[in-house]
Amino acid sequence: EKRSNTLSKLRCEINKVLHKSVDGILRREFQDAGFDDITIEEIREWSPFHWPLEFADVFEKGGFDVFIGNPPWDMLYANRDDFFIRYDEQFRTYPSEEKDGVMENLLSSPEVAWEWEDYKDSMETQADFFTQGDVYKLQSPVVGGRTMPTKNELSALFLERVFRLSRDGVKVSLLLPGTIFGGVMGKDLRTHLLDHTDVENLIGFENKGIFEAIDDRYRFAVLTFEYGGRTSVLRGIFNQHNMDIVYRIEEEAVTIPREVLLSYSPEGRIFPSITSQMEASVLEKVVDQPSLGEGVEGAWTVDMLTKEFVESTDKDRLQNTPEGADYPVYGGKNIHQFQHDNSLNSDLAGPEYWSKGLQDPPNSAQYRVREKKFNRGHLKRAIYEAFGGPETSKSQVQFVDELLKEHRGHGLEEEDVLLDCDEYRVGIRDVTNSTNERTIIATVLPKDIICLHTINTFKPFDIRPKEGHLSESPLRSPYIRRFTDRELFVATGLLNSIAFDFLMRTKVETHIIKRELLESQLPRLTDGDDWFHYIAERAARLNCYGEEFKEMRERLGGIEAAVEDQERRELQAEIDAAAFHAYGLERRDVKFVLDDFHRVGNPKLMDEMYFGLVLEKYDLLEQKGPLP
């Protein structure tokens, strides 16, 4: 017994020495991350978990064989609920305003106030360690050329730690929050899963009565994989409401090819929430088309503008009546599919604001937009890069002004900026939902109209300056149209199609996010392609009504706008049918999409007769091809 006590004390002393040594290693990792003043004592206050010491016998034998767990779903940040419960056990249960009062009362104590500040500093240091250090490398993904801000989700950090602790052949099964698979934050973790593990099963759940203490909208998933190798096919199913699926997963899992996972969200690497094998099959064909943000030789290109005019900061340029105004200022509620005003649809709201033209700068929304475009410097940068500016030591302003003075006698001016509203352009409603009658609402906008932040637009111009342009004042030739007239309408027709809606409904929650739209696939039809003229001409007839589109009707050869409800319904069904063909979908695919499409009560267009009409038109086009 005496010998046993001696050995126990010896182990304890050795353990203390080892912990001290490993704490020192951790301190150096903090210092490498930029925290030079961190002390061993501060680190020990956090009770770090040292895997090799806590599982010494496991590591001695080569590491773990299996990981099974439910890591915490919390975020690493200063949470007042976690702190003030030390002084008031009921703090979590109080409403927000009552918490504010309790906090104020507790913080009147200098000791509590000091501890609160110390707690916040400590949490900030720990959070910064994970984002700024070199230990965790999969928490700050780059999406669209930008490093995305990380939220330091503990479950994401734990999953990366499991990756590091695993060796080839290790089996892993974890219960994880849905953001790991559907949020931008998890991009690098998902990429690592596909490239370095063989995912056996992924079951996604909506919390419908599963965890009573958690919001019923919350999503989570059970992930099972073997470390090592590569995922060529993911077997999974999503949007489940019952845990019984865990026992039936082998029979009900959907096979999702790796290529679909990579193509569905090439920038964000988000996994699609697929619920059936048929859905996976249709999605595989849809994502085979080029994404909107992808450059396709000889085809039109897309760049989306968000927040052209922000009401909250520039409201002084707006007026509430049309008297004395030169044009309306549109918001999302002023447009619908192929509708640029409410003259054909009394349910559509009329403009709330109007504004003055460029001749009245202090009261002009157009003038404010031009100011912002000039300050953003797109034209300046294009000239700078086109004529060798980066090879000089000059700033963009100096280089461009000197170049223009040499050719036309003066530098760059605001008048050189061409407004997007000088040309017809595509507008897309920003606020939407996957359970609306239609998720994507697009139309071609009249000229001159300025858009509030609730309408996103496709930029009508690319900027390609040439030497012969530099003598112009104002500069206009560098602005090259991205779309021909017919391309503008084929793009609008495809955006408004059921086929594209089928894809976007799997991505959209409450707003159109630029990245998600531009990485989504749309047939890039141009003159000479099947279905190009068929779709473009019908979309133009739907959109080009009213005096505002007189010029466009003439540019298109004197087309006749469709204004009667039944004719418009017929034309839109023909566009929907042709879009299915453009995507390469077979009849059974089309029937699945139409049957699966979300129905709403009292639909304006999408009733059962309309779905039947689309299928009828699809069959007709299948027999006769892209009719004129």
User: Can you list the pairs that 438-441 forms with residues at least 24 positions away whose Cβ atoms lie under 8 Å?
Assistant: 438/337, 438/496, 438/501, 438/605, 438/606, 439/501, 439/504, 439/505, 439/508, 440/495, 440/496, 440/500, 440/501, 440/504, 440/512, 441/332, 441/335, 441/336, 441/337, 441/496
Structure tokens at 451: 């858009």
User: Closest Cα to residue 336, out of 605, 617, 549, 612?
Assistant: 605
389-401 residue pLDDT tens: 999 999 999 999 9
Instruction: Average the pLDDT over each of 17-26, 88-97, 590-599, 619-628 and give the range with the smallest value.
Output: 17-26
Q: Are residues 71 and 93 in the same domain?
A: yes
Q: Are residues 504 and 381 in the same domain?
A: no
pLDDT greater than 80 at residue 45? no
Q: Are residues 504 and 553 in the same domain?
A: yes
pLDDT of residue 131: 73
pLDDT greater than 80 at residue 7? no
pLDDT greater than 70 at residue 5? no
The residue-averaged pLDDT of 257-269 equals 93
User: Closest Cα to residue 71, out of 188, 134, 195, 160?
Assistant: 160
Which residue's entry shows tokens 């969200």?
Answer: 265
Confidence of residue 450 (pLDDT cuts 50, 70, 90): very high
Q: Are residues 580 and 595 in the same domain?
A: yes
Task: Indicate the pairing of strand 327-330 with strand 450-451.
Answer: parallel
Q: What is the CATH number of the domain that holds 80?
A: 3.40.50
Q: Are residues 622 and 558 in the same domain?
A: yes
Q: Which residues lie across from 304 on neighbouring strands?
A: 458
Contact yes or no for 223/176 (Cβ under 8 A):
yes
Distance CA 156, CA 166 (A): 16
Q: Are residues 203 and 314 in the same domain?
A: no
Sign of the alpha-carbon dihedral angle for 280, 284, 287, 289: negative
Phi, psi of 591 (to 5 degrees): -65, -40
The residue-averaged pLDDT of 583-610 equals 95
pLDDT of residue 457: 99
Total domains, the chain: 4
pLDDT of residue 625: 83
* E-state strands within 326-416: 327-330, 353-355
Domain with 283, as residue range(s), is 279-302+484-628
> pTM (2 decimals)?
0.85
Distance CA 236, CA 244 (A): 14
First to last CA, the chain: 98
User: Closest Cα to residue 331, out of 287, 365, 361, 370?
Assistant: 365
pLDDT greater than 90 at residue 57? no
529-547 residue pLDDT tens: 999 999 999 999 999 999 9
Task: Indicate the pairing of strand 233-240 with strand 442-445.
Answer: unpaired
pLDDT of residue 122: 83
Confidence of residue 27 (pLDDT cuts 50, 70, 90): low
134-188 residue pLDDT tens: 778 898 898 878 888 777 889 999 999 999 999 999 999 999 999 899 888 899 9
Contact yes or no for 66/170 (Cβ under 8 A):
yes
pLDDT of residue 614: 98
pLDDT greater than 90 at residue 379? yes
pLDDT of residue 428: 98
pLDDT of residue 285: 97
Q: How are strands ordered across the β-sheet holding 442-445?
A: 304-305, 455-458, 425-429, 442-445
* Residues 6+ away with beta carbon under 8 Å from 93: none
209-249 residue pLDDT tens: 898 878 888 899 999 999 999 999 999 999 999 999 999 99
pLDDT greater than 90 at residue 326? yes
Phi, psi of 51 (to 5 degrees): -55, -50
Q: Are residues 477 and 502 in the same domain?
A: no
Q: Are residues 490 and 472 in the same domain?
A: no
Which residue among 427, 454, 481 closes a domain? 481
